[in-house]
Amino acid sequence: MTKFILLMVLCSEVAANNCKIIPTPNIMFDNYHSCVVFGYDYSHKLITNFDPEWTNKVKAYTKFSCRPDKVI
């Protein structure tokens, strides 16, 4: 059965800033839908907890994907 894992990065629109990997909860999702719903919720929580002044200054945003991970 295919499980899914969440991969997330924090990015900035400031020139020369590279996206950085964000540690995410180590959860194996049973399907893509549950992974992507969790990803949006987790991303929302992260962004809302950042200092708004900092977020505006660096134009921070998150990107994520849900990738299949074969469980043997």
pLDDT means per 10 residues in the chain (72 residues)? 93 87 94 97 97 95 92 56
Q: What is the pLDDT of residue 8?
A: 97
Q: What is the pLDDT of residue 57?
A: 93
C-beta contacts of 39-43 below 8 A and 24+ residues apart: 39/6, 39/8, 39/64, 39/65, 39/66, 42/6, 42/8, 43/8
Q: What is the pLDDT of residue 72?
A: 52
Compute CA 43 distance to the chain's CA centroid, rounded to the nearest angstrom: 6
Alpha-helix runs per DSSP H in 1-72? 32-49, 52-58
Q: What pTM does this model have? A: 0.86
